[in-house]
């Protein structure tokens, strides 16, 4: 990986379970590192994810964030089940809401967040991937929501996001069987954006991210926001949100530059204002 500086050298606290590098293209590579636990999400990782995201979004030189897992076995193999022992129903509800809040922060990011799924993406790991804006998976990856095997259901937004990303029928099958599915099947049902050979995963993900960073940053952020808000309302209200945002973009210098560049047959130079 080509890096400018680790995130801790650019003002962010050092993390216990995350490694973050920002490369020369402005891509922030956020790697969850608990390899002995197959990068399982515990409470510390969840909090660090939120802190890292908030910090990265504040950097002007970060144009996209790529989340992946350490090693080649797992993206994130689920939540850390050891933390479930002895929880009361009220405490379990609080755990669920904390996870939902952190993943909602990822989903609401104004810069693109891409999950690079390099292995198992199960339970909370798949829920994390679904909160990202795009998902690129290795053909060797396995995905699923096995919580019913523990007498539970997904608790970090999985029942809601999987339904929206695929279909109610697909979501029901994945959730109530608890089965694991191949990357090819995940791609077929629309859950995974792209699949590729393991050796091509980093390059494929970086190319996808870089293609987005060449576009108008305000337009990209606005599009992500309008899509997210539109999923929460009916189509008519969603189209009103879209029209408002479309009109507001005509007040930006980027829109003027984009139109001028198109007419002059040159590449635009977006400044993010």
Confidence check: pLDDT of 7 > 70: no
pTM, full prediction: 0.91
> Which among 60, 83, 107, 127 is annotated as catalytic?
127
pLDDT tens readout for residues 124-165 = 999 999 999 999 999 999 999 999 999 999 999 999 999 999
For the chain, what percent of residues have pLDDT higher than 70? 95
Confidence check: pLDDT of 8 > 60: no
pLDDT tens readout for residues 166-187 = 999 999 999 999 999 999 999 9
Active site residue 127: yes
Active site residue 257: no
pLDDT tens readout for residues 57-84 = 999 899 999 999 998 899 999 888 888 8
Confidence check: pLDDT of 42 > 50: yes
> Which among 13, 48, 147, 264 is annotated as catalytic?
147
pLDDT tens readout for residues 236-258 = 999 999 999 999 999 998 999 89
Confidence class for position 1, pLDDT limits 50, 70, 90: very low
Query: What is the DSSP annotation of the chain?
Result: ---SEEGGGGTPPPPSSEEEEE-TTSEEEEEE--GGGTT-B-HHHHHHHHHHHHHHHT-TT--EEEEEESSSSEEE--B-GGGGTT--HHHHHHHHHHHHHHHHHHHT-SS-EEEEE-SEEETHHHHHHHHSSEEEEETT-EEE--GGGGT----SSHHHHHHHHS-HHHHHHHHHH--EEEHHHHHHTTS-SEEE-GGGHHHHHHHHHHHHHTS-HHHHHHHHHHHHHHTTS-HHHHHHHHHHHHHHHTTSHHHHHHHHHHHTTS-------
Per-residue pLDDT at 83: 85
**Rounded to an integer, what distance in angstroms lies between the CA atom of residue 12 and that of residue 114?**
21
CA dihedral over 68, 71, 72, 73, signed as positive or negative: negative
**All domains in the chain, ordered by first residue:** 5-213 (3.90.226.10), 217-263 (1.10.12.10)
Confidence class for position 225, pLDDT limits 50, 70, 90: very high
Average pLDDT over residues 188-201: 97
> Residue 62 forms beta bridges with which residues?
none
- Residue 221: phi and psi, rounded to 5, are -60, -40
Per-residue pLDDT at 17: 94
Average pLDDT over residues 188-214: 96
Confidence class for position 3, pLDDT limits 50, 70, 90: very low
Per-residue pLDDT at 13: 54
């Amino acid at each position: 990986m080509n890096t400018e500086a680790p995130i801790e050298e650019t003002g962010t606290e050092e993390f216990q379970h995350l490694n973050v590098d920002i490369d020369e293209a402005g891509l922030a590579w956020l790697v969850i590192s608990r390899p002995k636990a197959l990068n399982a999400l515990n409470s510390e990782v969840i909090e660090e994810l939120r802190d890292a995201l908030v910090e990265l979004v504040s950097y002007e030189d970060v144009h996209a964030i790529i989340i992946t897992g350490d090693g080649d076995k797992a993206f994130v193999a689920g939540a850390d089940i050891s933390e479930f022992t002895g929880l009361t129903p009220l405490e379990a509800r609080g755990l669920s809401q904390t996870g939902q809040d952190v993943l909602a922060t990822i989903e609401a990011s104004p810069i693109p967040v891409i999950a690079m799924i390099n292995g198992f993406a199960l339970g909370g790991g798949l829920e994390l991937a679904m909160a990202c804006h795009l998902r690129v998976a290795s053909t060797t990856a396995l995905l699923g929501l096995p919580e019913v095997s523990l007498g539970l259901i997904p608790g970090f937004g999985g029942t809601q996001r999987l339904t929206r990303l695929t279909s109610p029928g697909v979501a029901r099958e994945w959730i109530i069987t608890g089965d694991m599915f191949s990357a090819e099947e995940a791609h077929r049902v629309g859950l995974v954006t792209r699949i590729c050979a393991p050796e091509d995963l980093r390059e494929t993900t970086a190319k996808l991210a870089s293609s987005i960073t060449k576009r108008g940053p305000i337009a990209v952020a606005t599009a992500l926001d309008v899509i997210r808000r539109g999923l929460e309302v009916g189509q008519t209200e969603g189209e009103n949100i879209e029209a408002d945002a479309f009109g507001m973009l005509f007040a930006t210098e980027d829109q003027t530059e984009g139109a001028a560049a198109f007419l002059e047959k040159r590449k635009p130079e977006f400044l993010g204002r």
